[in-house]
């Protein structure tokens, strides 16, 4: 994660300063590059909040989140992250108070 920063300005997470190829090239076995972690976070937000709480259909390929090696820039990752977080915010803001204590089953449905 050297060279990346997280900032509370604007988006809750800012990938400014990340290398253009946020998946490597200095990939180390048993460690995840920032690009893969961002894809994983987007998958979690989609699965748990947008689909699980919001009820939108969603298909997640968790293995692909960690298998990706290159192909996306830090800017493209930022757009994916911002999109996922904005959608989750919309779902949460739209919840009626009566749903705030509801128990839901997200995985293994």
For residue range 63-84, what is the model confidence (pLDDT) as tens digits? 988 887 777 888 888 899 999 9
Domain span at 31: 1-109
Give this prediction's pTM.
0.75
Three-state secondary structure readout of 53-104: HCCCCCCCCHHHHHHCCCCCCHHHHHHHHHHHHHHHHHHHHHCCHHHCCCCC
Q: What percent of the chain has pLDDT over 70?
A: 71
User: What backbone phi and psi angles, to 5 degrees, belong to 91?
Assistant: -60, -45
Q: Give me 59's structure tokens.
A: 């298909």
Distance of CA 62 to the CA centre of its chain: 11
| Number of structural domains found in the chain | 1
């Amino acid at each position: 994660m050297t060279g990346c920063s997280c900032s509370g300005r604007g988006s809750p997470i800012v990938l400014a300063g990340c290398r253009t190829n946020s998946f490597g090239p200095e990939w180390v076995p048993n460690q995840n590059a920032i690009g893969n972690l961002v894809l994983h976070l987007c998958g979690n937000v989609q699965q748990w909040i947008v689909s699980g709480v919001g009820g939108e259909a969603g298909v997640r390929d968790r293995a692909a989140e960690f298998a990706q090696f290159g192909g996306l820039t830090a800017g493209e990752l930022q757009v994916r992250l911002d999109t996922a977080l904005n959608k989750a915010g919309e779902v949460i803001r739209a919840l009626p108070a009566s749903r705030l204590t509801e128990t839901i089953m997200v995985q293994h449905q």
